[in-house]
Amino acid sequence: MRIEGLLLDVDGVLYQGDAALPGAPEALHRLRAARMPFRLITNTTRMPKAALLEKLARFGLDVAENELVTTAQIARAVISRDGAKPYLLVHENLKVDCPPEAEKPDSVLLGDAADGFTFERLNKAFRILIEGGRFYALARNRYFRTATGLELDAGPFVAALEYASGVEAHVLGKPDPNFFHAAADSAGLTPATTLMVGDDVEADIEGAVRTGFQGAQVRTGKFRAADEARAHRAGARVYSSIIEVVDEALA
Ligand SMILES: [Mg+2]
């Protein structure tokens, strides 16, 4: 199938821990040289967009502000559209990108707050939800890989609050179709001819394929052997790394 552009997951595809994955900076250069449009699309919510761009630049990944699409951007648009007044259960660093926190919140916006997931904050969120508050989650990824091993992401905390309150979260990040569409639209891309590249079989691959995109699972980042068959079942192709994906996209 023809490929006219790419959506690239970031953590686990372009970098891992404290370094770019081998060949990732060159892969971006090759896409630019070939004028193949792409967007970076991430569920990462531990740092603001500006800091993520700086981090990528440090790794030799030169990305423009408009080439990176984050869930906090989408949250601002959705929460403003809904007229909701959120309590922010997000990482301190991310607050700069989020909608302002309301004095009398009627909803909860949850991201990967890491050490900020204290009992007190989770319980405050629970009390808002059990009173009928709306529940927005930047993502519900289960875990991701850091330099020291796998680490809990936002998903387990979303599940805990859903379980206690009976309120289902509206997930704004991948695999929500709106997020894939927003990223593709911003690059003038159409789903059928756009390849979503990710290490997360659930959020990146199954989500994108369900939304009408092509899927490319990479064997880097959080990839585990059992994901291979699952990616194939979803109708995606499996590649050793971003290098191989770009080879094929430009072939
Ligand atoms: Mg990833």
Ligand 1 mean position to 106 CA, how many Å?
Answer: 31
CA-nearest of 123, 135, 127, 121 to 92 is: 121
Distance 131 CA to ligand 1 centre (A): 34
Distances (CA, A) of 144 to 13, 34, 79, 152, 163: 12, 31, 26, 7, 22
CA of 104 to the centre of ligand 1 (A): 35
Supply φ then ψ for residue 152, to 5 degrees.
-60, 135
- Specify the pTM: 0.89
Q: For 202, list phi and psi in degrees, rounded to 5.
A: -80, -60
CB-CB neighbours of 80 under 10 Å: 10
132-141 confidence digits (pLDDT tens):
999 999 999 9
**Amino acid letter, residue 190:** T
The proportion of the chain whose per-residue pLDDT surpasses 70, expressed as a percent, equals: 100
Q: How far is the centre of ligand 1, averaged over its atoms, from the C-alpha of 221 (Å)?
A: 7
Q: Are 116 and 45 in contact (CB under 8 A)?
A: no
Exposure string over 100-112, b if 16+ CB within 10 A, otherwise e: eeeeebebbbbbb
Kindly list the structural domains of the chain, giving each domain's residue range(s) and its CATH number in brackets, ordered by start. Answer: 5-43+174-249 (3.40.50.1000), 88-171 (3.40.50.1000)
Three-state secondary structure call for residue 49: helix
Specify the length of the chain in residues. Answer: 251
Give the Å distance between the CA of 128 and the centre of ligand 1: 31
Distance 179 CA to ligand 1 centre (A): 15
Q: For residue 31, what pLDDT is reported?
A: 97
Q: Which two tokens stand for residue 91?
A: 């990482």
123-161 confidence digits (pLDDT tens)? 999 999 999 999 999 999 999 888 899 999 999 999 999
Cα angle, residue 96 at apex, residues 152 and 119 outer, rounded to 5°: 40
Ligand 1 centroid, distance to 124 Cα (angstroms): 29
Token pair recorded at residue 213: 């995109």
pLDDT 10s digits, 161-175: 999 999 999 999 999
> Hey, what are 180's tokens?
């894939």
Q: Report pLDDT digits (tens) over 198-248.
A: 999 999 999 999 999 999 999 999 999 999 999 999 999 999 999 999 999
